[in-house]
């Protein structure tokens, strides 16, 4: 069984290939594999937090669903073990909509007689990918800041960066709360 092709094999210059179209006959794709990413919100969803840590992409790239899931698992396990479930909120901000296709060719002895080369080379669906653009955030973790927790969360995001393709950076910043207009002066 052959390994997964690298991301450079899948072009970015074409429009995203999804099932959405005004005419169903134009957009129907058979046999799309399901997304491996099924959990998008983890931790304490209703908590009040003052700091956020993010993985932000520096350039345009396609991120496969299996690499997103591998990164999610490593972050989630480290956060549960070292930070505690009640002390963070972890969100995946991108969804793998894009369907990747591969022109399957035969390999091995006699493959030149079986393969059709570029004839009918549209390809079969092999997986999904999220299309990340420059400056887009893939993962966000909200937490209450202290030095120990900050180091643990930064380490978890750095380990996850090893599982993801392309150039990215880890940023940590305070959450700015918007003022509320709950009190109205000069009653009417």
Type and span of the H or E element at 54: strand 51-57
> Which is more confident, 17 or 168?
168
Instruction: Specify which residues 41 forms β-bridges with.
Output: 91
The model carries a pTM of 0.78
pLDDT of residue 3: 76
Cα(88)–Cα(34) distance, integer angstroms? 28
Question: Which superfamily is assigned to 31-103+121-174 in CATH?
Answer: Ribosomal protein L16/L10 (3.90.1170.10)
**Does the pLDDT value for residue 24 go beyond 80?**
no
pLDDT of residue 166: 86
């Amino acid at each position: 069984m052959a390994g997964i092709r690298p991301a450079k094999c899948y072009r970015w210059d074409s429009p995203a290939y999804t099932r959405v179209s005004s005419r169903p006959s134009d957009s129907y794709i058979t046999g799309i594999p399901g997304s491996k990413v099924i959990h998008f919100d983890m931790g304490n969803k209703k908590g009040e937090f003052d700091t956020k840590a993010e993985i932000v992409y520096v350039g345009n790239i396609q991120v496969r669903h299996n690499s997103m899931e591998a990164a999610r698992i490593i972050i989630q396990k480290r956060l549960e073990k070292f930070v505690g479930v009640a002390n963070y909120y972890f969100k995946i901000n991108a969804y793998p909509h894009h369907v990747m296709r591969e022109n399957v060719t035969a390999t091995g002895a006699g493959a030149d007689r079986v393969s059709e080369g570029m004839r009918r080379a549209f390809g079969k669906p092999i997986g999904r990918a999220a299309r990340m653009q420059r400056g887009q955030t893939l993962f966000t973790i909200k937490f209450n800041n202290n030095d120990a927790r900050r180091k643990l969360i930064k380490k978890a995001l750095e380990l996850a960066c090893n599982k993801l393709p392309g150039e990215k950076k880890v940023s940590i910043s305070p959450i700015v709360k918007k003022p509320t207009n709950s009190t109205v002066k000069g009653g009417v």
